[in-house]
Amino acid sequence: MNTRAQIRRLEDGRRVHMQDGPIDLIVEAFGEPGEVDRAYRAAAGRFVSVLDELCGELTFLRQATRPESATPDGSVARRMMEAVRPHAARHFITPMAAVAGAVAEEILDAMISTSQLARAYVNDGGDIALHLTPGENFVVGMMEYPEPDSKHPQHSEHPMPGTTTITLDYPVRGVATSGWRGRSFSLGVADAVTVLAETAPMADAAATIIGNAVDLPGHPAIVRARACDLAPDSDLGDRMVTQAVAPLLLDEIQRALDAGIHEAECLRSLGLIRAAALTLQGEMRIVDGATSLFFKPNGVEAFSNSRSLVHA
Amino acid sequence: MSDDAIRCDACPVLCYIKPGRTGSCDRYGNSDGQLVRLDPHVVLDRALSRGDSVVPFLQKARDWDGSLVSGEDTFITAIGAGTTYPDYKPAPFIISSQVEGVNMVTVVTEGIFSYCGVKLKIDTDRHLGAECSTVLAQGEPVGHVTTNEYGSQMVSLGGVRHLTGGSRHEGTVTCETLLDLSNGKAVELEIENGAKVVVQAGKAPVVDGVQEERMRVGCGSATIGMFAKQWFGKVDEVVVVDDHITGVLSEHQAGKLLGVPETGIRMKGRRSTPGRYFRVAEPGTSWGGTNIADPLSILDPFDPASARPGLRLLMVSTTGEHSAYYELDEALRPIEKKLPEALQQSVARIRENCEPALCTVLFMGGAGGSLRAGVTENPVKLTHSVGRALTRVTCGGAPVYIWPGGGITFMVDVTRMPENAFGYVPTPALVAPIEFTLKLSDYAALGGYMDSVKPLASFRQNEESRKRVAARPENPWPIKPEKTEQ
């Protein structure tokens, strides 16, 4: 029996907070009260064993994935592998790149497979799995930095540089953000890469890959350190991870974003993402093909919308 | 694996954590080789869902019967106990025990204090800033300068306006400042149009990079009174330089009583009463809390009618840190000379009468409605019971001062509390432990949650989740019954 996990309703009485070790979820379901309660019970029931399952094959999940890598045992781990495998031929990636999205999707699945819900989401530290039914949608707000950071007070005044509305017919059920300031290490310099994809683990893996691609190799303004020197058991081993980025020149910012855009376009053409927004030192670039319904700038009216979902 | 990393066993991820870094959860970190919990508000979260979270508690430093929770010598503090806020339900721990044959009950909870702050007493005569000046931390306003007390500058930090009334960043920085000071950490404060000062509970303040050593022995006038006899006959005139009241021996009542003759000295500043001068210079961080570098700058030329060549003059600050000795030449100009042996002793005496300069940090908070509701169904009865001293309030086992009047507004010296007793919630607000101890019969009378009262012995379970700390000998034992009202 897991006695570490903490599960409680937040003060608003609607959302549920679940935490176990490094996993931190905000869960909210919409529907008939009885259905919502049942969904939360199902989510909690599934949640309590997730961390132990993952840790059971953690060594394998921290190893670089190859196209021919074996399939792991656990259902969350399988979601992770499935999401990172398509990247493995072209990039270094481990299943851990999709862990947050995979946990979010697993918990969401537990809810919607037991309850009739109009909408639901599971937010795992900014990596979000969504559930929609006809007539429902989500407004997702995007942060410039993936982690609230007291060094960037403008954060509070301009909380969301953009929002997007996810509707039932738009095939996006996963949103993820990666950036060097975030909780996970990044090989790149993007402040934030937000990705919309068909599933949360797909979005999570792609955000990592695109975030790594936004880079200026060898640039002196970027402070890097070996991941293993910071966290001895990091899945990134001796790869150099970004620790600080000094102010860059505009053309350098463009060059770094171009590299990320190139990768994002590539993933879009492969069907691995639907859209992405990349930010670096105040500059934002968007990849969303012809859909153009993505990321309307500063949708202030969306803030008062009770259906808005602050993300990151 | 590198040898300076430690392994965290808080969850099955089993992170290896390097010094100064956190594990993958950001909740546990390696602080100088110790695994520490970094996210106090999670303690709160934990207690909301389960009653058995980490509970440090005090153990009187004497015979220990081998079990973690022993008899009447154990007091469960509220540190890490969590809270049931904002629910109107019983506090996380309501514990009964028998002390000296009296059935006592202690209600243990962590309070979330949006209305709270820190009262700082900074022992210094240096001018830190004008009264009412804003006090900044990390560039954000977190409080203000209040009154000057004897040898100390009082500063008020925090309060609900800074915590939640300003910008989000102001609130966050205020919370962090209060938390650090309350947990005994050093904090750098900047006073608008004033000094930068590093303060830490129980440590000397550092003003503009200079560590304060001693408090002044008294104001300039008081210093004259205290040392006049010792100076008499060894020197003709003494000026004790002080930003508040500069004293002059020959004009001062103490000098007059001893029969010290006039010296023709003429002081700048505004004369208050004989031998006492206000504002001889501007406030500063030099001689006696003034801005002067040369003490002669506060003197006008000597009056030739009563001054004479060879007249001996000692100038000294109220802490004895600064001193200079002069003799008047033929033109009645003071010429600096080596301080004679006998006067060196008196300057040393001033210094040795100055107590070490310290910063004192009192946490002040108000226990509001819902916190009291965790103790009793009728919250005002708790207030009345505290007011009549039937209920003893402690903060992490430390005694508190309760303000008379309505509510339960208390102050506690943070150095008397166990380490890292405070936490925060992102509101932002501080989380402070608070315990209410009273007779079981009184608890029943004020509408306490009698069904939730658990005997102390039941806390023998879950011992591994509790931390035992020694009670501080200077604190009264919190659970001793008060004098009963009979």
Residues B103 and B144 in one domain: no
Q: Write down the pLDDT at residue B386.
A: 84
Q: Write down the pLDDT at residue B482.
A: 52
| Set of chain B residues whose Cβ sits within 8 Å of the Cβ of A97 | none
Is the pLDDT at B255 greater than 90? The verdict is: yes
Q: What is the pLDDT of residues A111-164, one digit of tens each?
A: 999 999 999 999 998 889 999 999 888 887 665 554 444 334 333 333 345 667
pLDDT bracket for residue B75 (50, 70, 90): low
The Cα–Cα gap between A103 and A28 comes to: 15
Q: Write down the pLDDT at residue B389.
A: 78
Which ranges constitute the DSSP H helices of B376-453?
379-387, 440-445
Residue A1 lies in a domain: no
Higher pLDDT: B3 or B440? It is B440
Residues B169 and B186 in one domain: yes
Residue B478 lies in a domain: no
pLDDT bracket for residue B59 (50, 70, 90): very low
Beta-carbon contacts of residue A88 (< 8 Å; ≥ 6 apart): A64, A65, A66, A67, A69
Residue B236 lies in a domain: yes
The Cα–Cα gap between A41 and A201 comes to: 23
Average pLDDT (B248-259) is 94
The Cα–Cα gap between A87 and A163 comes to: 28
C-alpha distances (whole Å) from B294 to each of B235, B244, B298, B320, B385 are 20, 18, 8, 15, 59
Beta-carbon contacts of residue B417 (< 8 Å; ≥ 6 apart): B395, B396, B397, B398, B433
Higher pLDDT: B239 or B89? It is B239
pLDDT bracket for residue B214 (50, 70, 90): confident
Beta-carbon contacts of residue A133 (< 8 Å; ≥ 6 apart): A117, A118, A119, A168
The Cα–Cα gap between B367 and B112 comes to: 9
Q: Are A60 and A99 in contact (CB under 8 A)?
A: no
Residue A207 lies in a domain: yes
Residue B326: strand pairing partners: B313, B336
CA distance A245 to chain B (A): 19
Residue A27 lies in a domain: yes
Q: Is B26 on the interface with A (CB under 8 A)?
A: yes
Average pLDDT (A207-232) is 93
Nearest-CB residue to B86 (from A6, A11, A19)? A11
Residue B120: strand pairing partners: B155, B361
Q: Are B227 and B235 in contact (CB under 8 A)?
A: no
pLDDT bracket for residue A167 (50, 70, 90): confident
Structural element, H or E, at residue A199:
none
Question: CA of B30: which chain A residue's CA is closest?
Answer: A231
Residues B344 and B456 in one domain: no
Question: CA of A53: which chain B residue's CA is closest?
Answer: B12
Is the pLDDT at B203 greater than 60? The verdict is: yes
pLDDT bracket for residue B364 (50, 70, 90): very high
Q: Is B333 on the interface with A (CB under 8 A)?
A: no
Residue B481 lies in a domain: no
Chain B interface disruption, residue of A1, A6, A23, A48, most B CBs within 10 A: A6
For chain B, how many structural domains are there in total? 4
Residue A226: strand pairing partners: A240
The Cα–Cα gap between B127 and B207 comes to: 9
Residues B15 and B61 in one domain: no
| Set of chain A residues whose Cβ sits within 8 Å of the Cβ of B15 | 231, 233
Distance from CA of residue B203 to its chain's centroid?
9
Residues B270 and B326 in one domain: yes
CB–CB contact B13 A150 (8 Å): no
How buried is A23 (Cβ within 10 angstroms: 0-12 exposed, 13-18 middle, 19+ buried)?
buried
Nearest-CB residue to A156 (from B49, B138, B167)? B167
Residue B13 lies in a domain: yes
Q: Write down the pLDDT at residue A61.
A: 96
Residues B101 and B182 in one domain: no
Average pLDDT (B348-363) is 91
CB–CB contact B25 A21 (8 Å): yes
Question: CA of B140: which chain A residue's CA is closest?
Answer: A153
The Cα–Cα gap between A140 and A265 comes to: 22
Residue A280 lies in a domain: yes
Residues B259 and B336 in one domain: yes
Domain extent for A83? 6-310
Residues B257 and B290 in one domain: yes
CB–CB contact B5 A232 (8 Å): yes
Residue B459 lies in a domain: yes
Is the pLDDT at A295 greater than 60? The verdict is: no
Residues B93 and B120 in one domain: no
Q: Are B212 and B367 in contact (CB under 8 A)?
A: no
C-alpha distances (whole Å) from A204 to each of A78, A83, A132, A227, B131 are 14, 8, 19, 20, 54
pLDDT bracket for residue B443 (50, 70, 90): confident
Domain boundary among B185, B215, B245: B215
Q: Poorest-confidence range of A157-171, B72-86, B255-269?
A: B72-86
Domain boundary among B198, B215, B232: B215
Q: Poorest-confidence range of A267-276, B137-146, B420-429?
A: B420-429
Distance from CA of residue B96 to its chain's centroid?
32
Q: Poorest-confidence range of B53-57, B158-162, B214-218?
A: B53-57
Q: Write down the pLDDT at residue B20.
A: 80
Is the pLDDT at B466 greater than 60? The verdict is: no
The Cα–Cα gap between A227 and B141 comes to: 37
CA distance B194 to chain A (A): 25
The Cα–Cα gap between B197 and B152 comes to: 13
Q: Locate the DSSP E strands across B242-303.
A: 246-248, 266-267, 270-271, 276-278, 299-300
Among A180-184, A293-297, B76-80, B287-291, top mean pLDDT goes to B287-291
Residue B360 lies in a domain: no
User: Cα dihedral sign for B448, B452, B454, B460?
Assistant: negative
Question: CA of A57: which chain B residue's CA is closest?
Answer: B13
Residues B376 and B424 in one domain: yes
Beta-carbon contacts of residue B407 (< 8 Å; ≥ 6 apart): B366, B367, B368, B383
CA distance B11 to chain A (A): 5
Q: Write down the pLDDT at residue A301.
A: 31
- What is the CATH number for A165? 3.10.520.10
Q: Which tokens belong to B50?
A: 């389960």
Residues B314 and B231 in one domain: yes
Residue B284 lies in a domain: yes
Residue B483 lies in a domain: no
Which ranges constitute the DSSP H helices of chain A?
33-56, 58-61, 75-84, 99-112, 154-157, 200-213, 227-230, 250-269
CB–CB contact B169 A153 (8 Å): yes
CB–CB contact A8 B49 (8 Å): yes
Sheet of strand B276-278: strand arrangement: B270-271, B276-278, B246-248, B237-241, B312-317, B323-328, B334-337
For chain A, how many structural domains are there in total? 1
Residues B387 and B463 in one domain: yes
Average pLDDT over chain A, rounded to whole? 84
| Set of chain B residues whose Cβ sits within 8 Å of the Cβ of A230 | 18, 21
Higher pLDDT: A75 or B427? It is A75
Is the pLDDT at B286 greater than 80? The verdict is: yes
Q: What is the pLDDT of residues B24-48, one digit of tens each?
A: 877 777 877 777 766 432 222 222 3
- Name all contacts of B38-44 with Cβ < 8 Å and 24+ positions apart: B40/B420, B40/B422, B40/B423, B40/B424, B40/B431, B41/B423, B41/B424, B41/B425, B41/B426, B41/B431, B42/A6, B42/A19, B43/B80, B43/B82, B43/B110, B43/B423, B43/B431, B44/B82, B44/B83, B44/B110, B44/B112, B44/B423, B44/B425, B44/B431
Average pLDDT over chain B, rounded to whole? 81
pLDDT bracket for residue B88 (50, 70, 90): very low
Q: Poorest-confidence range of A209-213, A263-267, B215-219?
A: B215-219
Q: Are A201 and A101 in contact (CB under 8 A)?
A: yes
Question: CA of B4: which chain A residue's CA is closest?
Answer: A232
Q: Does ipTM exceed 0.85?
A: no
Q: Write down the pLDDT at residue B174.
A: 95
Domain extent for B2? 1-38
Q: Are B110 and B44 in contact (CB under 8 A)?
A: yes
Is the pLDDT at A51 greater than 70? The verdict is: yes
| Set of chain B residues whose Cβ sits within 8 Å of the Cβ of A94 | none
B297: left (phi over 0), alpha (psi -120 to 50) or beta: alpha
CA distance A150 to chain B (A): 7
CA distance A303 to chain B (A): 17
SS3 B124: coil
Pairing mode, strands B270-271 and B276-278:
antiparallel
